[in-house]
Amino acid sequence: MKTLFFIIVLLNIAYVFTEECANSAFFQCGGNNWKGSTCCKPEPVGYASLNGGTTGGKGGKVVIVSNQSELNSALKSSDPIIIGVKGIIKLSKDISINKKSNFSIIGIDNNSGFTGGGFFIKSASNIIIQNIKFSYCLGSSKDCLGFRRSTNIWVDHCEFYNDLDHGKDYYDGLVDFTYSSDFITVSWTYLHHHSKATLVGHSDSNGSGDSGKLHITYHHNYFKNIVSRLPSLRFGTGHIYNNVYENIEYSCVNSRMGAQVLVEGNVFRNANHPIVTNYESVEEGYAVERNNDFGNNYGSNSITRVGSLYSVPYKYSMDNVNNVYNQVTRNVGPM
């Protein structure tokens, strides 16, 4: 029976990465309650769709892993690979991935992923992380997912959380993109119970490396019970649409060091400082805001410089802001 189960899993994962149009619960069409098109291609919307697109391990070997040793072995492959994760794997240390391209890490059910440590990925490209839970990330980096000098990244239908029982530096980021990473989409993901959630651009002093890079899209994500960095974006270009922010203690979208952000169609509930451009850096950022639902917190925006990012170089569909809260909160995370 177990053999039959694994054969079915392998066939299902291979199917969604080889068919032109795959009906899968955790691709762009949303989750279990989705009522729209049943034709959902395994392709990102947003900046990860540019620069040749992001396909991960499409066409490569499919390997199922259920422990850290199996994961490490699978990641040694130099060929495209799709790694299916079975169950929650406790990591004894961070997984370090360097100069590796064309891989996908996908949970095979709604309770698969990693705890205890995270992933430190650098100088890599064409990466998909999908349907995965990350929690209590206390490896050497203290990030759940940390990318450096990496391009074409799609994080989709994942869940990230730690806790708010410690100081803000006990953990670091949930999912961070630094050192000139580029062409990134984070979609349909649930981030909660954490202090510093998602950092884009690591410091004020790296303008020479980061300027012209760090193009990132956040869409249909649910940020709940978080202190700040949703995202915090330096130097780069961010399109932030149709997300839900709930119970945010300090700030949500923070545009810094000349970054340009387009923030549209988002819902903010009990979320302090939804959009700011003059927090925490020596230089202000820029923001364009349109059609957001701020609840009672509209007056706490601090948009000191209006930006020039009024359009983006890819196709996307905006959902009616009145429908965003229910659609997002019901459909984010692993399926």
Query: pLDDT by residue (tens digit) across 212-242?
Result: 999 999 999 999 999 999 999 999 999 999 9
| Average pLDDT of the chain, as a whole number | 89
3-class SS of residue 83: strand
234 is a catalytic site residue = no
For residue 234, the model assigns a pLDDT of 98
Indicate the residue type of 321.
Answer: V
Q: What is the pLDDT, as a whole number, of residue 187?
A: 96
**Token output for 219:** 């869409």
The full set of domain ranges for the chain reads 47-330
Q: Are 257 and 276 in contact (CB under 8 A)?
A: no
Q: Active site residue: 229, 256, 290, 305, which one?
A: 229
The residue length of the chain stands at 335
Query: What pTM does this model have?
Result: 0.91
Burial 186-214 (b: 16+ CB within 10 A, else e): bbbbbbbbbbbbbbbbbeeebeebbbebb
The low-confidence residues of the chain, meaning pLDDT below 50, are 1-11, 13-33, 39
The whole-number pLDDT of residue 40 equals 53
Q: Which CATH number fits domain 47-330: 3.90.245.10, 3.90.1150.10, 3.20.20.70, 2.160.20.10?
A: 2.160.20.10
Q: What's residue 38's pLDDT?
A: 52
- What six digits make up the tokens of 89? 């794997």
Other Cβ atoms closer than 10 A to 284: 19
- Dihedral sign from CA coordinates of 320, 264, 218, 164: negative
The dihedral built from the CA positions of residue 25, 147, 192 and 89, taken in this order, carries a sign that is positive
CA distance linking residue 131 with residue 14, whole number of Å: 15
